């Protein structure tokens, strides 16, 4: 139960910190943090929580990561469902808090996106479904390679949160224009449920692609990380 609650809190922080920076601070008049700032915010949420709860739950914060770690032989199948449920609930709770904060400003319009992920007309750069699919699969696969490598028993100890946090920052720097960057089904769900409509209709991609990418990344690491 402590591990499940840790995943709830950690995912809450990821969505509130990452999506919150996008909704509240990215384009703030004159002093907005921009795409680079949002990318850094997502990376910092993972880095801080990895040190904060990594020793309690492993700090997955992401259904795709939990599935990828299972595929990589680092996580028990029996723990997948409670972890994923905790992550999704934490993300939705964060979306609710962010909605309460954001709606306190005159003119707030949740239909403008609310940091939701999308493709086609709902992609920040108007990228196609295929482009979004490829991007999310590849980015999540590389994220899993980073996670599995940084947490390998042969890797330098104590530095995994830094590598993983910076890895997520880089992923966002690359892919925000394409999909607004998901690589995390819980993160996508946490804000999409408040937008409804197109965000929920396109949500399937941001479950399918990250999970497929996580399985691919785990398979790749099994090849390159094998000690045989």
pLDDT in tens, 160-216: 999 999 999 999 999 999 999 999 999 999 999 999 999 999 999 999 999 999 999
Q: Is the pLDDT of residue 32 over 80?
A: no
Q: pLDDT value at position 33?
A: 85
Q: What is the pLDDT of residue 58?
A: 94
Overall pTM surpassing 0.75 (yes/no): yes
Tally of structural domains, the chain = 1
CATH of the domain at 29: 1.20.1080.10
- Checking if the pLDDT of 112 tops 90, the result is no
78 lies in which domain range?
A: 2-105+114-224
Helix axes 185-195, 2-20, angle to 10 degrees: 60
Predicted local confidence at residue 175, as pLDDT: 96
The rounded percent of the chain whose pLDDT value lies above 90 is 89
Q: What sign does the dihedral 182-183-189-190 (CA atoms) show?
A: negative
Q: How many Å apart are CA 143 and CA 95, to the nearest integer?
A: 23
Model confidence over 83-98: pLDDT tens digits?
999 999 999 999 999 9
Q: What token pair was written down for 209?
A: 């692609």
Give the model's confidence band at 65: pLDDT under 50 very low, under 70 low, under 90 confident, else very high: very high
- Centre a 10 Å sphere on the Cβ of residue 162 and count the other Cβ atoms it contains: 14
End-to-end CA distance of the chain: 37
Residue with structure tokens 């990594």?
54
Reported confidence tier of residue 225, pLDDT bands at 50, 70, 90: confident
DSSP 155: S
């Amino acid at each position: 139960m402590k591990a499940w609650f840790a995943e709830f809190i950690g995912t809450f922080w990821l969505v509130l910190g990452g999506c919150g920076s996008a909704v509240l601070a990215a384009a703030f008049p004159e002093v907005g943090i921009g795409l680079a700032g949002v990318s850094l915010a997502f990376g910092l949420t993972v880095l801080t929580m990895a040190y904060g709860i990594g020793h309690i739950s492993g700090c997955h914060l992401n259904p795709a990561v939990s599935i990828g770690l299972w595929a990589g032989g680092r996580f028990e199948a029996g723990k997948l469902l409670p972890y994923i449920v905790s992550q999704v609930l934490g993300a939705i709770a964060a979306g609710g808090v962010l909605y309460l904060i954001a709606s306190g400003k005159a003119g707030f319009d949740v239909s403008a996106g609310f940091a939701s992920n999308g493709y086609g007309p709902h992609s920040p750069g108007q990228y196609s479904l295929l482009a979004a699919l490829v991007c999310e699969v590849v980015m999540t696969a590389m994220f899993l390679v980073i996670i599995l490598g940084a947490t390998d028993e042969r890797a330098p100890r104590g530095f995994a949160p830094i590598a993983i946090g910076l890895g997520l920052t880089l992923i966002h720097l690359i892919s925000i224009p394409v999909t607004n960057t998901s690589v995390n089904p819980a993160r996508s769900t946490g804000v999409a449920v408040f937008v409804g409509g197109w965000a929920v209709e396109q949500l399937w991609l941001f479950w399918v692609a990250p999970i497929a990418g996580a399985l691919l990344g785990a398979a790749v690491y099994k090849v390159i990380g094998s000690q045989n």
